[in-house]
Chain A
């Protein structure tokens, strides 16, 4: 298409491209900023900019299909009496009931359970569907405290204190009126149909010294059984990780700027925070300097799509990864079979990001009972389990090629970078050189 323009002598501006022109026109028409779901859409330095060095003469590989390559991970052993052990180092990220339908939440729980991993609640509380279908359920503790209660806290297998999200570090949540049905409103103690804002700061503490007391409180309420995670959006990962450790976290969850969201201002999504590639190194450095790398686990997220991304994140020092957007796609989000309906909404399969609108043809980011009924939680659960298995098999394939009998044996030495930027950000040498910019 672009070529046919070019052959007619038409030149698109790199600065004012068509999407930018449309943004300006939309702003001028509506007078309000654009709110959407998904994560950053601009091109960013990412795991694609890294490659693995397979084994050859200096290292020997492991036999695919025969020699074991372990994938399990234990989270929370630092202070919790009941750490959780997952079969695979890929977890389902926190996505709220409200943003997602109850069927979608149930499907995520079913899939995670079948694959031997955890799923996570979100800003909106714990649903019985989700608890019932999730063997390992992480309960988010957010600034809004919607539906927060000690019974659910005690039912959780881990507690995740959310300080921020990669899509909007420093921002609160929002759920627009279309999605505030009676059930969602009831769980959040809000009037039906209003545009709901969640706070960006916790109501009863500020700063790391208070966070330490807050973590101690949650431990006291749960009799020290339950692992406590601290989730931060990637912005100052070295300091945030160090302060989370100092405050007593068992696990640090680090979400890069590609991370998905249900509803955030586009200007926020695209301009605040740093890519996950640039965030893992400083976080791992903080853990290592404090002598707690692998004792305090690091879970990273933001644009994880395939087993190579999983393996690269782990090689850079993460203990596990978390997926949001990819899990929704696995469930059926942006499926071409809904093309006509996406078109009717002014979008197209592969582009749909209006999670805030509640009109999702795939029945995932909606509270409309008819749309939600399109997603069968059992079939959806199977798709999630399939996808998680593929991610695991792919990561194992790479790890064996690097001669590793466990995914956690992958290390930065197994990686090189394709670009100078990625080399500097990830702290691995530019391919074919021993040069790490800045070192």
Chain B
């Protein structure tokens, strides 16, 4: 599998600075929707406000200094976004492509339903990290909470710390890599062998996230595919 994530920022020719103590989130978002490819943006004083930088579909670079609230970079489509701080619920939910990087922690449902792109959280995430993920790649430097990768359909979730209860419950075709401990696996999620191709993709993902962890120290988890067809005997798992 080849990795198609965008390269690191290069263009710093035009930097627009926005202070959310002065401008509204709505003004910022509309400016980001209307701007050109190749622009650079710095946002200060986000103060945990919700819905910052949602719906970006320009190939731009954006840096936020401070904490952001719910749905930061929701439905992100293009460009590279970095938060120097922590993020609230639904970080980069339904991300399509591009990169979203949070240097602190992220709350619940990080990268939920993400269809593509890369989400990197240097710290920990809350519950439901990668819930219903559909192709996104997620790299978490620390731990993830319970019910993560619930019904995960496609994409890869890399956890350098520990995973909470019910990891990968009802998982479809997504692949999960965990370096630390897994409190428990959810229904139909099993440990699988780490073959050379997995080590290779893991090495690539770790490198993209700027991490130096050793791929050989991870374990791989995925679907046993026993719940793919309804069967009364599985009633307890449904």
- Pick the contact of A145: B51, B128, B134 (CB < 8 A): B134
- From residue 70 to 104 of chain B, which have CB atoms closer than 8 A to chain A? 70-71, 74-75, 77, 89-90, 93-94, 96
Number of interchain pairs (Cβ within 8 Å): 106
Complex Cα distance, B172 from A204, in Å, reads: 19
The 0/1 profile, CB within 8 Å of B marked 1, for residues 403-428 of chain A is 00000000000000000000000000
- From residue 317 to 346 of chain A, which have CB atoms closer than 8 A to chain B? none
Query: Main secondary structure on chain A at its contact with chain B?
Result: loop
Interface size class of B (residues with CB under 8 A): 35 or more
Find out whether the CB atom of A190 lies under 8 angstroms from the CB atom of B132.
no
Find out whether the CB atom of A203 lies under 8 angstroms from the CB atom of B113.
yes
Find out whether the CB atom of B109 lies under 8 angstroms from the CB atom of A149.
no
B185 within 8 A of A: no
Closest chain B residue to A212 by CB distance? Answer: B50
Given the interface pairs A203-B131, A214-B71, A221-B75, the reply to whether A148 lies near B230 with Cβ below 8 Å is no
B29 within 8 A of A: yes
A189 within 8 A of B: yes
B170 within 8 A of A: yes
Task: Give the contact stretch, choosing among A53-61, A115-123, A192-200, A305-313.
Answer: A192-200
Complex Cα distance, B150 from A189, in Å, reads: 15
B167 to chain A, nearest CB (A): 16
Taking CB atoms, residues of chain A closer than 8 Å to B172 are 190-191, 194
Closest chain A residue to B110 by CB distance? Answer: A204
- Pick the contact of A149: B96, B131, B231 (CB < 8 A): B96
Taking CB atoms, residues of chain A closer than 8 Å to B150 are 203
Find out whether the CB atom of B90 lies under 8 angstroms from the CB atom of A204.
yes
- Pick the contact of A216: B50, B57, B153 (CB < 8 A): B50
Find out whether the CB atom of B94 lies under 8 angstroms from the CB atom of A190.
no
List 14 contacting pairs A-B, 8 Å CB cutoff, sorted by A.
A145-B132, A148-B115, A150-B77, A150-B96, A151-B57, A151-B77, A189-B134, A191-B173, A194-B172, A203-B128, A204-B93, A205-B109, A213-B70, A223-B30
Which A residues fall within an 8 A CB radius of B?
30-32, 144-145, 148-151, 153, 176-177, 188-191, 194-195, 197, 199, 203-205, 210, 213-214, 216-217, 220-224
- From residue 10 to 69 of chain B, which have CB atoms closer than 8 A to chain A? 25-26, 29-30, 33, 50-51, 54-55, 57, 69
Interface centre among B57, B94, B170, B231 (most CB of A within 10 A): B94
A122 to chain B, nearest CB (A): 17
The 0/1 profile, CB within 8 Å of A marked 1, for residues 158-188 of chain B is 0000000000001011000000000000000
